[in-house]
Amino acid sequence: MKLNLLLNPLLIKQVQGEVELDISGIEIDSRQVMQGCLFVCLPGTVHDGHEFAIQAVHAGAIALITEKELTDIPSHITIVQVPDARRALAILADVFYGQPTSRLKLIGVTGTNGKTTTTHLVEHIFNENNKRTGLIGTLYMRIGNYREQTVNTTPESHMLQRNFRTMLEHGAEYAVVEVSSHALDMGRVRGCQFRTAVLTNVTHDHLDYHASMERYSDTKSLLFSQLGSAYGDESKVAILNADDPVSPLYARKTAAQVITYGIQNDADIRASEIQMKPDGTSLRVDTFQGWTHLDLKLLGMFNVYNVLAAIAVSLAERIPLQQVKQSLEMFEGVTGRFEPIYAGQDFTIILDYAHNPDGLENVLQTAKTMTQGRLFCVCGCEGDKDRMKRPIMARVAASYADFAIFTSDNTRSEEPDSILSDMLEGVKGGPIPSNGYTAVVDRREAISQVIELARPGDCVVIAGRGHETHLIVKDQRIPFDDREVILELLGSKTNPALYPEKWVDDDVGVRAPEASL
């Protein structure tokens, strides 16, 4: 596309250089730049894209979008200065990729927990009912058999629009997207014409970025207020959790039609007669399109909420309730979300992505209901992120588990001992039940210890990382997959010759020694 056509929607800009240039792509990472690219210099919290402008030029960029004047840029490079490079990026990406969301029926799901499972449920129901649907989120972007890895839960605006264009090329009618609070605050979804917005819940998370729960909640409300105020041929829908206190506020902020779902409070779609079984969940669902009974393969009250949200989206798109039921009862679950890991052992291991207090509490509550013996938990907290949740996470783990091991997660620039010290503040001196806990810096060793402790009928929850396959330590990405580590260690434990006779005392009130920090 010609640069002059690409720049045309930008009202405020200062252009220096030739604009009759053929632009081959848009990039914000100088390492991804190829010949003919437009490089957008985004200011960031850690790095400033302006510092990498010359590297982008050397890699083949022929034009730059900047917020400030640059020196040492060759005279043949076109420089376009704008007031807000991130806003310009969203506008340019929408134009460059042909405004793909104007041709897709776009569904956005936001919330602290449940986004990944809810988007996968919607994708599954829609594809089962001949509504070809793509998905973008924490795990990947995929449409049919085509898949690309994603770096963020919600990609930057140029990658998002590129993904939507790819979906159209693969025949998609719908796209369902996880929309994070960071994405909303940073404007990554600007230019996305959402048809439906869904709220799962709002609980403690990301306060390192948003500073307060009020700001965090207000940011998530943007998805609903930005649905627009016009009523046309395509009806906009806001789907809200009636059991979450923020939902009435979100309902006031949107002009869209509102559909509510819930369990405790009155709602347009409501679950009752919920029964948790070892292999799934049964429930009755009453909706504005009638009622049905569901036998799900999913476990946990949190998944009941996810299913209700997916039902609401499906009914809004006129999929008959009985067809929704059939699709839901086929759904097997999502990688790393309350995922059982089995290699012949005589106890249960659950792998889950829970990395905030509410998510961990939900997972441990569910695990406790299905545990005949003792409940163990391994969890950690990430470095360079919300320190306030660290003691809360530890307290949740120690309150629900018979024995908790606190360990390392993505430590980034922080020392693991410092992170664990913050966590241990949540269990020192408080009225914790007579449950045990310890801290083990090495994550592999923590998993090894808990597998050695487990006996028949016990349940082990390994929380915090789920699908992730690397640990971030300082500036390195070190291969580490909880699933692979668990399976390797189980291979030793299920061998009778190597089965350790350790911590066989059933007195779970015995507190293991705390790690010296």
- Nearby residues of 318 by Cβ (< 8 Å), 6 or more positions away: none
* Residue 438 is labelled as binding a ligand: no
pLDDT at position 511 is: 32
pLDDT, tens only, 257-272: 999 999 999 999 999 9
CATH for 3-96 is: 3.40.1390.10
* Residue 509 is labelled as binding a ligand: no
* Residue 2 is labelled as binding a ligand: no
* Residue 232 is labelled as binding a ligand: no
Q: Within 380-497, where are the H helices? A: 389-400, 416-424, 443-453, 482-493
As a whole number of angstroms, the distance between CA 425 and CA 347 comes to: 31
CATH architecture label of 339-498? Alpha-Beta Complex (3.90)
* Residue 153 is labelled as binding a ligand: yes
Domain boundaries, the chain: 3-96, 100-330, 339-498
* Residue 113 is labelled as binding a ligand: yes
Give the distance from CA 247 to its chain's centroid: 20
- The mean pLDDT value for 160-180 works out to 97
pLDDT at position 204 is: 56
pLDDT, tens only, 436-452: 899 999 999 999 999 99
**Phi, psi for residue 306 in degrees, rounded to 5:** -60, -40
- Burial class of residue 29, CB neighbours in 10 A (0-12, 13-18, 19+): middle
269: enclosing H helix or E strand: strand 269-277
* Residue 200 is labelled as binding a ligand: no
403: enclosing H helix or E strand: strand 403-408
* Residue 71 is labelled as binding a ligand: no
pLDDT at position 73 is: 95
pLDDT, tens only, 463-515: 999 999 999 999 899 999 999 999 999 986 554 433 333 333 333 333 333 33
Cα torsion angle, 81, 82, 85, 90, sign? negative
pLDDT at position 203 is: 81
Q: Worst-scoring range by mean pLDDT, 210-214, 326-330, 347-351, 455-459?
A: 210-214
- Nearby residues of 32 by Cβ (< 8 Å), 6 or more positions away: none
* Residue 287 is labelled as binding a ligand: no
* Residue 171 is labelled as binding a ligand: no
Q: Compute the CA torsion angle 311, 315, 318, 319 (nearest 10 deg).
A: 30
* Residue 127 is labelled as binding a ligand: no
pLDDT, tens only, 469-480: 999 999 899 999
Give the distance from CA 221 to its chain's centroid: 17
3 band by pLDDT with thresholds 50, 70 and 90: very high
294 band by pLDDT with thresholds 50, 70 and 90: very high
Distances (CA, A) of 103 to 35, 154, 161, 175, 357: 29, 20, 12, 10, 39
User: Hey, which CATH number is domain 100-330, 3.30.390.50, 3.90.10.10, 3.40.1190.10, 3.20.20.330?
Assistant: 3.40.1190.10
As a whole number of angstroms, the distance between CA 138 and CA 178 comes to: 7
pLDDT at position 499 is: 34
pLDDT, tens only, 85-136: 999 999 999 999 999 999 999 999 999 899 999 999 999 999 999 999 999 9
* Residue 265 is labelled as binding a ligand: no
- The three-class DSSP label of residue 10 is coil
pLDDT at 431 over 80: no
Average pLDDT value for the chain? 90
pLDDT at position 430 is: 60
pLDDT at 334 over 50: yes
* Residue 277 is labelled as binding a ligand: no
Closest CA to 7 of 100, 101, 78: 78
